[in-house]
Structure 1
Amino acid sequence: MLQHKFVAEWQDGRKETSTPTLELLGDPEGYSAMALSVVAACGIATQLLLDEEPALRKPGVHAP
């Protein structure tokens, strides 16, 4: 299980909390959950680089 907690405070003073959770099971006869989740992110990043995605040329943090 992988869980993040994000807290946003908006200009009007409101606070909003988001807690996305990833639950993934590995295959006892194959790849672990860690291997499956890491390879997916690496594959997506590699494809974006090969496609020369313009957003990757911008500095800083990027929203999905």
Structure 2
Amino acid sequence: SDPWVMACETLNYPPGELTRLWPALVEPHGRIHFAGAYADNLNWGMEAATRSANRAAERIDSES
């Protein structure tokens, strides 16, 4: 019933598209890091978002 709670949708990239886009999706720009379901090679919704967030956090930690 909470209007701010939404499900995490899965993304279906066409064949070869994720391979082509992957470097740009996960590459930080300066101190800005990107994470989300779209930025993982598994399109499993929240699982992908969590994996992506962990990867971004590890990269940030290794830079500090």
Q: TM-score, normalised by structure 2?
A: 0.37
Of structures 1 and 2, the one with the larger relative CO (CA 8 A, separation 6+) is 2
Q: TM-score, normalised by structure 1?
A: 0.37
Return the structure number with greater helix share: 2
Larger radius of gyration: 1
